[in-house]
Chain A
Amino acid sequence: MFVPSITHPVGDFIREWVPKLSAYLPEQLQSQTLDSIAAFLINALLCIIAVCAVNIGSAPILIYMERKVCAHVQCRLGPMRLGWHGTLQTIADVIKMLFKEVYSPSGADKLMFYVAPLIVLIAPFIIAALIPFDHNLIVADIDMGIPMIIAVNGFGVLGILLGGWSSNNKYSLLGALRSGAQMISYEISFAMILLFVVMISGSTSLMDIAQAQDGTVLDWFIFKIPVLGFIAFILFFISSTAEMNRAPFDIAEAEQELTGGYHTEYNGTPFAMFYLAEYIALVTNSALAATCFLGGFHAPCIGVAAIDGVLQMVPGVVWLFAKIYFMIWCYMMVRWTFVRPRVDQLMDFEWKFLLPVNLVLLAAGAVWMIFVG
């Protein structure tokens, strides 16, 4: 029987221990097939728990962080009443959201209406499984990491389009159409930049990309290729903001114009899922940025042995999360600073500016790789 297995220290450890433990089982139950299936299931369960823990666990933190960052940008204090500095506010909000009545508008396509939020959630969860959190801490270390991410990212559009269409609301439909056009357009730039990263690292595996940035800060891809790396990072920042439908590119929601866009008619748990998907996408996109440009789980070494030794004592997962939260903070600052472009200007920006710049960048990167790298 074929049981998929990926070489992995945690997985290997379980594969090693399951046969030893199964020796205590009755004779007739012992078999190699059963052992490998049990090991696979335990591994799969661990993977699911890990992905859920990282994703669902980070959502309340991010909501709290977003509210605090937003409040301090706007000269306010934000949540302050419930718990120390309002830390329990998010939990209260989540409880409120989960206990709300779930209903759909009349004339809505009920099946699609409730499936849409689930589809939106798929993409960020799969991407989170591909992110290397440390040298040996990765759920699925597949060779086709980058193509996989590009492929899966398109899934979110489907959910948003379905949600907007099935709501039987013109504002939702407009929001969904805008979102569809926007995400499909920006996906091209998004893929181009990842292609640039693949070109430098010579691998499509995210683990290899992270490993290729081992060394000092100057080995990170943002600094490795002078100027071009930084431009690529900025372009990635822009196109991933558009990918996530976050302000200033949140024309799909555009509260002032479309009263909420594709999720106008959603409430309670389905709405919470859209919300969750948005924040998990924030984590995964930040993790992707950290992995592709900011050295992944590597410590920011500066080439001085004494300091580097101390920095490297900190586990890689801590460094990765530090980088992720730095990126998230950047996304949040941008969100609360800029105003929103119009829908046609957004398309112009992608097709007439971002894409040509990306192509030039790709060509320049190739030239650099031939002559220098």
Chain B
Amino acid sequence: MSGALLLLATLGTSLVAAVVIFLLPERAFRARTGINLGAALVKLSLVAWMVWGLSHGREYVIEFPVLEGLAFVLRADDLGIMFAGLSSLLWLLTTIYAIGYLEDSPNRKRFFGFFGLCVASTLGISLAGNLFTFLVFYELLTLSTYPLVVHRGTSKALAAGKVYLRFTLTAGMGLMVGMVILHVLAGDIRFGEREILAELGPERRPLLVGLFWVLIAGFGVKAALVPLHGWLPRAMVAPAPVSALLHAVAVVKAGAFGIVRLVYDVYGIELSAELGLLYGLVVVASVTILFGSLRALAQQELKPRLAYSTVSQVSYIVLGIGLFGPLGTIAALSHLLHQGLMKITLFFCAGNYAEELGIHRIDELDGAGRRMPLTSLAFTVGALGMIGLPPVVGFLSKWYLGTGAIQAGMPWVIIVLVASSLLNAAYFLPVLGRLWFRPGPDHGVGAWPEERRLGRLETHGWLLVPAVATALFSLMAGMLAGMPFSPLEWATRVVNAEYLP
């Protein structure tokens, strides 16, 4: 298959799946499940094929003109394919989870239709070859996630959707204006051609600095940088698979990935450092990391605690970008994947506790480890990873961040990292303690809020398998980090291309 066709097929898989799902009647449960899983598997294999091709020096590009001097470009590069791989792998698992989670609930057709559109947009973001194409899919992502956020149709969900749109659409307009200004300044900026902005005269420098922060604000809303994170905890009213999608696969990741593209492919790391932009990023990221962790500590419910933990963890990516140097970059890029794996595990588990036992608050979790051992094990793996304990993969992120900080000459960042790890431990360890060491209803103390016995296993199989699988992936990515095609190895590959001429 030619490169262009492969790209189109990859993007088209989820688009076509979405359209077919919209055309199927609501009651066609089996057909919908088949199409969902089939499309997810096909897409995962197509992405895997491209990963293989890229590592053998193949090129995947397709483009056509939209306006004079502006093209729609899809291009798979090492960086983009990382994100594409993450989203297709996690899409498969989230689809499995969502099928189990939404069993017998209304509006499933709408849910899976927009779910497919959402993942297609994410893939488009990862494969976009210039800013224009990036913006197209970035805004499509906003549109396609809205129906998922308000899926339940309750007044709380609708209010959360309103806040979500207010943040994201305003940010989208900021991004669009910023990108048009860049276009006016420098023409069509393709990712991978890094010198365009650096060649502008020194009189443009203040404008470039201003634009950078406008664009960072635009991406920062989705990446939930403080103080633009307000929508994320509220969006927790959405069903658990949507939360998983928002936090691990699509929305916050799209924001973080946008920042990666902006720094490495639009401004270029040299120019960003020269303009003093990276230092600002490190400060913003550090504030967000500490603030998110502190707020997470204050939450009494499980999902909001995880939400604030996301606010904090995603900023590790931004922090890594800000540390000018190869180690920081490796940390940033690999954390993009690592955080996705760990966070989705945690959300799957939180969803399982809520579905099987009706647990929403942390103090209701006492003794749940005995009742749901596999889910609790998976949760433990995710939580330990977030704290940064080896051999879970989160340890690697923090290790590279720390060494990167020293390399970049910003040792104070290590204090932020240590403080954040302590805070992570402070809000995750009590949860683990309750899970495993407190007596609960299964020890004859109290009762579960709403027990449902969904399957022969500890819960419904469709809910259990994805959680265990992502936990295993988080472990394996940590233990097999030196193997080819591991997230860390691939991130190193990207960084080598970036820093070595």
Decide whether A and B assemble into one complex. Answer: no
Footprint of B on A, CB under 8 Å?
none
